[in-house]
Amino acid sequence: MKELLSGNAAIARGAIESGVTVAAAYPGTPSTEILENLALYPGVYAEWSPNEKVAVEVGIGASLGGARTLVAMKHVGVNVAADPLMTFSYIGVNAGFVLVSADDPGMHSSQNEQDNRHYARFAKIPLLEPSDSQEAKDMVGLALDLSERFDTPVMLRTTTRVSHSQSLVEIQDPQPRKLKSYVKDIKKNLMLPTYARPRRVALEKSLAGLKEYSESSPVNRIEWRDRSLGVITSGISYQYVRDVLPDASVLKLGFTNPLPEQMIRSFAAGVQKLIVVEELEPFIEEQVRAMGLALAVKGFIPYTGELDPGILAAALVKAGIIHSTGGIAKAGYDLAESPAVPARPPVLCPGCSHRGVFYALRQLKLNVSGDIGCYTLGGLPPLEAMDSNICMGASIGVAHGIGKANPALDARTVAVIGDSTFLHSGITGLLDVVYNKGNATVIILDNRTTAMTGHQQHPGTGRTLAGDPAPAVDLEALVRALGVKRVRVIDPLNLAETEAAIKEELAAKEPSVIIADKPCALLTKAVQPAVRVDAQKCTGCRICTRIGCPAISIKDKLAQVDAAVCTGCNLCLQVCREGALVKGEEKHA
């Protein structure tokens, strides 16, 4: 039976069919749906871990404990998990382990577009790159088999267009597996220098075996067609090559670390012109060139941004490989006379609890070090109340560093971080502020969910991935335990309270934490009567538009509130100086 599945749903299905019984992840686009899908199957333990490092450590434990294991994360999550990963390859596995790295070329929902294939080389582990959902499913099983056969963790690397594209997948029955026995083997698993040195040597032996395997792997194959042009490609790029160069011979690589050198050499020898087509970094291209093989053109595809058949066709024309983009990139209609199209940027939702905090920060003209989540949108117009954003948890260390560099900035700098992000990797930053006597003011935007990725549970929500009740961490008690004495909880939609709290805590010569306590508006769906506009009082000053609420607009020079969009959060009332915005009234029967 064939089902239309996204790459992520196919990976979950592949895990079930191959006997995975433990899975861990931290949500992150485009990887999130893997665990959400896995959690739907009975007989699997699937958890949201607080961060990716913990997820991999849980996965190592599960493998040692004898269960086939899948751990999933977005590309930047592997940075967080790199520490355990780099040594996991030394100890190897007991039961099979697959790490899914979901990369995001084009940065649809990410802060960078790093190419995580480099991690597989760096950690010296096998790498699989599916090009559609069927391969994504099949490669989970292959990864687990290889993991056990070669005693190594295996990386399955997808990209957004594999993770979030749906294609037809042949569904098979799950293959239940017995747990393996736990084996105490300190020479293999206890990485002290004495034991790590021989494991380092063993790792190279294992890699040599993998290189040999690569030559005969069923996922590396040559498709001979016209031999005047040969294309080496992997992952989603294969699909683009088939559309743009339907007649070319193709070496399709599904197993890309270590590369099958002999296969590549024989393919190169069989074609007149050889090129490599890949998205992002020249990962395969540089290795092919290091083999001493001549490429007809090098570096002809942009290293930045997402690839698509149109970009590929244009690049091939520019490089002289084909003469016209012909069947691919066609000229559509002449749109020279098209009206200007205003942008439609994503915005904080109506009723969003973050809006009050960012409006207050903007009013106070503060330096704001930001973090990763929905609230990063607070940095966009019209709020523009965030100065920097780097990675999960960075806001607190950055604010601390700014204050240490220039104490004059201390009283003007705040860190803003969400609850899920704080629990992911903000705790240690705050510990540093306390320990090293910083004065940072940290605002935890506590909306009790991982909102940006679609409302996943976390250790503060009181529920697990499976939906079961769980202990919810007490943020206030947690930050007090770290040594923060000034902790206060505010209602972020009360503007006066929010501004006063920020001013007072900035003035204090010690670390302080403000917990902005309000559940995500999308979760509570708590809609109060919509705000009304008193047209007699509205002067058309537009100050209400500065909060960036999608319910508020200016029509005929006066404020207007869309009652269908307004949630009645009443933040705009507090901004209007004329009293022209009026709290909606309960409808009486």
Partner 1 sequence: MLKPIDVLMVGVGGQGTILASRVLAQAAQAAGYDIKVSEIHGMAQRGGSVVTQVRLGEKVYSPLIVKGGADILLAFEKLETLRLLSYLKKDGVLIVNDQAIDPVPVLVGAAEYPPNIPEYLRNTVPGTLVFDATEIAGRCGTAKAANVVLLGAMARRLPIERAIWGKALAERVPAKLLEVNRAAFAAGYELG
Residues that bind partner 1 (CB under 8 A): 2, 4, 29-30, 108-109, 132, 160-161, 164-168, 236, 238-240, 242-243, 308-310, 313, 327-335, 337-349, 374, 377, 381-382, 452-454, 522, 542, 545-546, 548, 550, 552-554
Query: Is residue 131 within 8 Å of residue 239, measured between CB atoms?
Result: yes
Please identify, using beta-carbon distances, which residue of 434 and 527 lies nearer to partner 1.
527
Q: Which is nearer to partner 1, 29 or 367 (CB)?
A: 29
Could you check whether the bond before residue 30 is cis, i.e. omega within 30 degrees of 0? yes
| Residue 12 near residue 25 (C-beta atoms within 8 A) | no
Q: Decide whether 171 or 508 has the Cβ nearer to partner 1.
A: 171
Least distance to partner 1, CB of residue 348, Å: 7
CB of 483 to partner 1, least distance (A): 36
CB of 366 to partner 1, least distance (A): 22
Residue 413: strand pairing partners: 367
Structure tokens at 57: 């450590």
Report d(CA 489, CA 378) in Å as an integer: 20
Stated as kind and residue range, the H or E segment containing 496 is helix 495-507
CB of 508 to partner 1, least distance (A): 34
> How many Cβ atoms from other residues are within 10 Å of residue 216's Cβ?
11
Residues in the chain: 589
CB of 120 or CB of 311, closer to partner 1:
311
Question: CB of 474 within 8 A of CB of 423?
Answer: no
Estimate the crossing angle of helix 354-363 against helix 495-507, to 10 degrees. 60
- 311 vs 479, which CB is nearer to partner 1? 311
CA gap 417, 412 in Å, rounded: 17
- Strands 68-74 and 97-103 come out as parallel
Residue 251 identity: L
> CA–CA separation, 80 vs 324, rounded Å?
44
Q: Measured from the CB of residue 161, what is the shortest distance to partner 1 in angstroms?
A: 6
Q: Which is nearer to partner 1, 96 or 230 (CB)?
A: 230
Query: By the 8 A CB rule, do 313 and 328 touch?
Result: yes
Q: Which is nearer to partner 1, 39 or 473 (by Cβ)?
A: 39
CB of 70 to partner 1, least distance (A): 21
State the Cα–Cα distance between residues 148 and 450, nearest whole angstrom: 34
Shortest distance (Å) from residue 566 CB to partner 1: 12
Q: How far apart are CA 433 and CA 436, in angstroms?
A: 5
CB of 330 to partner 1, least distance (A): 4
Helices (H), 190-301: 193-216, 237-244, 261-270, 283-290
Phi, then psi, of 54 in degrees rounded to 5? -65, -40
As measured in angstroms, the least distance from the Cβ of 448 to partner 1 is 17
User: What secondary structure does DSSP assign to 561-576, as a single string?
Assistant: E-TTT-----HHHHH-
Closest CB to partner 1 among residues 144, 572: 572
Residue 554 C-beta: closest distance to partner 1, Å: 5
Please answer whether residues 217 and 265 qualify as being in contact, where contact means their C-beta atoms are separated by less than 8 angstroms. no
- Report the C-alpha gap between 267 and 416 in whole angstroms: 54
Question: Hey, which residues does 561 pair with through a beta bridge?
Answer: 552
Minimum gap (Å) between residue 146 Cβ and partner 1: 27
Q: Which two tokens stand for residue 521?
A: 């508006």
> Can you tell me the distance from the alpha carbon of 498 to that of 506, in angstroms, rounded to the nearest whole number?
12
Total Cβ atoms within 10 A of residue 563 = 13
Question: To the nearest whole angstrom, how small is the minimum distance from the Cβ of residue 514 to partner 1?
Answer: 24
Nearer to partner 1 by C-beta: 514 or 575? Answer: 575
Tokens of 263: 């296969």
Tell the smallest beta-carbon distance from residue 106 to partner 1 (Å): 9
Looking at beta carbons only, is 494 or 553 nearer to partner 1?
553
Q: Do the beta carbons of residue 69 and residue 98 sit within 8 Å?
A: yes
